[in-house]
Amino acid sequence: MRTLFRLSTSLSLLLLFVMGQASAAVIPYGKNGKINYNLQKGTFDVLNGSVLLLEQGFSEVGYQKTTLSSKDYQQIAYTQSKVKDAFGSGIKHTFLLKQNGLPNMRQIIYTYTNRDYFFISVSLVGSNLESNKMVPLKGNLVDSQLKNDASSLFVPFDNDTFISYNAVPLKAGVSNPSAEVTALYQNASRKGYVIGSIEHSDWKTGILTVMNIQQQATVEAICGYTKESITRDKIAHGYLKGDVVNSARIFFGNFADWRSGMESYAKANRLAEPPIIFKWKNPTPVGWNSWGALQEKITLEKANQVVDFFADSLKAFRSEGIAYIDLDSYWDNLLKGGLTGDYAKLKAFADHAKSKGLKPGIYWAPFVDWGFAGGGKRKAEGSNYTFGEMWTKVGTGYHDIDGARALDPTHPGTRQRIAAVINQFKACGFEMIKIDFLGHAAIESDHFYDPQIKTGMQAYRSGMEFLLKQLDNKMLVYAAISPSLASGRYVHMRRIACDAFKSIHDTEYTLNGVSNGWWQTHLYDFIDADHVVFGDQSDAENRARFLSAIVTGTCITGDDFSSQGKWINTAKKLLSNAEILKILKDGKAFVPVEGNRGKSASPLFVKQVGEVTYLAAFNYSDAEQNLKLDFSRLGLKNSEKYEALNLINQTESPFLHNQIINLPAKDAVIFKITSKK
């Protein structure tokens, strides 16, 4: 017979399972959540009240070319202890699993009375262990909300190669892997699950969702996930080693509105891995970046002309008096003698920008070699190492993507080169830096220069921490191509998608990122829509592109303001709209009204600022569209009377439940909605 012994102290409760009757640990969380852990089987069920959410959950670990399951262990000891951390006061529930011939397994569940979600992790405990795959959570999602028109959200690992978010219809036979997090939701009711990792310093995590023919969804949170089309890796995840090997903590929550769940998840990441970068206390960034139109045509004269245009003709385009003028790739046109040469022209540009009341910015990709075709014997700037010594080793070759080769972030040559260039930028007086192709620093390698670094995410952490030390709190740090979740600790501002320019398709692509990734506004200080280019597009397309930036939460323009064209008057008109620019003050993104849009984007976005509701509406098609405005979807009260001010043409009208607005092709509009007095 099996016997259950209970020992308790003021700090902890010990339930020791030896031999005897079946027993379960019942763990409450949040308002109505409950986890029933079966101490005989090593499995657990998750419920919300009486509604079963996850059935037969368990953990797995890869070990010595086999897979260990929590269901394999016969002896399970359960303890609980109080914790007080960034999430508040909670309970740490520890399950120590033992079985002859196997290393110990440890499952840890964290619960908090004021959090409607919990975390779970798994560990191997023993001596000289190693693993490159740990699955803290695996099981069946059984709530009926997933049976009708449900979607499984694909979240990209990064924003490279014009990758899109994708709300995949969850039908029988569908398998959908997602990087770090997924939401499984029913768009009409908005009910859904959010499952994802909240730690990114050691592991790449994949969330795999599969719908079987019985319309039952299985979910698996895999620490150690690599797939070339998602994480860019050509080799398996690196091994973590030690007497204790820990997975990342996995967030699990079921929400009445999956959108609030995603925002809770983003905030949890911010708490679990708080920023290392210095706290941003200045206004929401606005400004200009040269990649939108100038690109390789940068000269000192043209850069200064852009500064002059902002100073003379765009005086209203400021965020509390501040705007950035940022030189992107090809700024080295202004150098003499390469990266360690003469920076006099760059300093002259920075000085000119400051003299006009603007902040100068610069660009660099610190972890890539663009000249690798020239061979590995080239000497790296600022060091005595060759590029060949610094290249990240991957299998029998190297990691190449976007026309650039990855540099080992832990190599002293990479670091000496970074220090040399960043010191030049600081000496020039730059106050912003756009850093790019950061995903190259997170790639898995056969081995890194630093023997303590075993995985791509450890290399990324090491490289980014070194980079921040060189920047020395001197600049606004903006990430372009970069890991979506792991970068939150290291930058103030991150681009939500890949390059976008001026067409309605660019607008739709950007807003695909906002529709499905707006929640990152709670992970970063700011997310950005990339350079807003007007060019010679129609007025309608220009309105849509401008508003795509407003909806994202910042605005960086990109036209060639050193030359004449239609874009000049467009910029003067749109970028001087004080009522619209005021929306940027808090730097936060709008929330999508609709999900379930595949690789497209929601047509409607809302943002609440005090008593004011802002509504942005987009038509991505080539034909005019009529959009129905359902107050219940917009977060407005059916019984309330509202007025709407069109901030584009400054017309005011009553705003009615279920009214229809007509949008011309490739156009957008934004309303300021207030209660009618």
Output the average pLDDT for the chain.
94
User: Which residues contact residue 97 at a Cβ distance below 8 angstroms, ignoring those fewer than 6 apart?
Assistant: 42, 70, 73, 75, 76, 104, 105, 106, 107
How far apart (Å, rounded) are the C-alpha atoms in residues 24 and 476?
Answer: 52
Return the pLDDT at 592: 98
Percent of the chain scoring above 90 in pLDDT? 92
Residue 321 has pLDDT above 90, yes or no: yes
Mean pLDDT of 126-148: 89
In this predicted model, what pLDDT tens digit does every residue of 59-114 receive, in sequence order?
999 999 999 999 999 999 999 999 999 999 999 999 999 999 999 999 999 999 89
Return the pLDDT at 595: 94
CB 394 within 8 A of CB 407: no
Question: Which pair of tokens denotes residue 160?
Answer: 């490279």
Residue 128 has pLDDT above 50, yes or no: yes
Q: How far apart are the first and last CA of the chain?
A: 74
In this predicted model, what pLDDT tens digit does every residue of 614-657 receive, in sequence order?
999 999 999 999 999 999 999 999 989 999 999 999 999 999 99
CB 255 within 8 A of CB 519: no
How far apart (Å, rounded) are the C-alpha atoms in residues 419 and 409?
Answer: 12
CB 666 within 8 A of CB 546: no
SS3 571: helix
In this predicted model, what pLDDT tens digit does every residue of 324-333 receive, in sequence order?
999 999 999 9
Half-sphere exposure of 377 (CA within 13 A, CB side): 0
Mean pLDDT of 3-25: 43
Q: Which of 322, 293, 297 shows the shortest CA–CA distance to 537? A: 293
Reported as a pLDDT band with limits 50, 70 and 90, residue 32 is very high
Q: How many residues make up the chain in this entry?
A: 677
How far apart (Å, rounded) are the C-alpha atoms in residues 534 and 490?
Answer: 31
CB 645 within 8 A of CB 601: no
CB 669 within 8 A of CB 617: yes
Cα angle 73, 74, 75 (rounded to 5 degrees) comes to 100
Reported as a pLDDT band with limits 50, 70 and 90, residue 14 is very low
In this predicted model, what pLDDT tens digit does every residue of 345-376 receive, in sequence order?
999 999 999 999 999 999 999 999 999 999 99
Residue 15 has pLDDT above 80, yes or no: no
In this predicted model, what pLDDT tens digit does every residue of 143-196 receive, in sequence order?
766 777 889 999 999 999 999 999 999 888 889 999 999 999 999 999 999 999
In this predicted model, what pLDDT tens digit does every residue of 441-473 receive, in sequence order?
999 999 999 999 999 999 999 999 999 999 999
Question: Which pair of tokens denotes residue 175?
Answer: 């398998």
Q: Which helix (H) or strand (E) holds 388?
A: helix 387-390
Structure letter (DSSP) for residue 376:
T
In this predicted model, what pLDDT tens digit does every residue of 499-508 receive, in sequence order?
999 999 999 9
Reported as a pLDDT band with limits 50, 70 and 90, residue 212 is confident
CB 559 within 8 A of CB 567: yes
Mean pLDDT of 540-558: 98
CB 512 within 8 A of CB 618: no
CB 523 within 8 A of CB 269: yes
Residue 16 has pLDDT above 80, yes or no: no
Return the pLDDT at 146: 72
**pTM for this structure?**
0.95
Residue 204 has pLDDT above 80, yes or no: yes
Q: How many helices (H) and strands (E) does the chain have?
A: 12, 42
Reported as a pLDDT band with limits 50, 70 and 90, residue 216 is confident
Half-sphere exposure of 191 (CA within 13 A, CB side): 10
Residue 31 has pLDDT above 80, yes or no: yes
Long-range contacts of 64-72, Cβ-Cβ distance < 8 Å, separation of 24 or more: 67/133, 68/102, 68/103, 68/105, 68/124, 69/42, 70/42, 70/43, 70/95, 70/97, 70/105, 70/107, 70/122, 71/41, 71/42, 71/43, 72/42, 72/99, 72/102
* Ordered domains of the chain (ranges, CATH): 4-272 (2.70.98.10), 286-372+403-586 (3.20.20.70), 591-675 (2.60.40.1180)
Return the pLDDT at 17: 40
Ramachandran assignment for 357, one of left (phi > 0), alpha (psi -120 to 50 degrees), beta (any other): left
Residue 564 has pLDDT above 80, yes or no: yes
Return the pLDDT at 144: 67
In this predicted model, what pLDDT tens digit does every residue of 508-533 receive, in sequence order?
999 999 999 999 999 999 999 999 99
Return the pLDDT at 145: 66
Return the pLDDT at 214: 76
Lowest mean pLDDT among 19-23, 118-122, 269-273: 19-23
Cα angle 19, 21, 23 (rounded to 5 degrees) comes to 105
Cα 649 to the center of its chain, rounded Å: 34
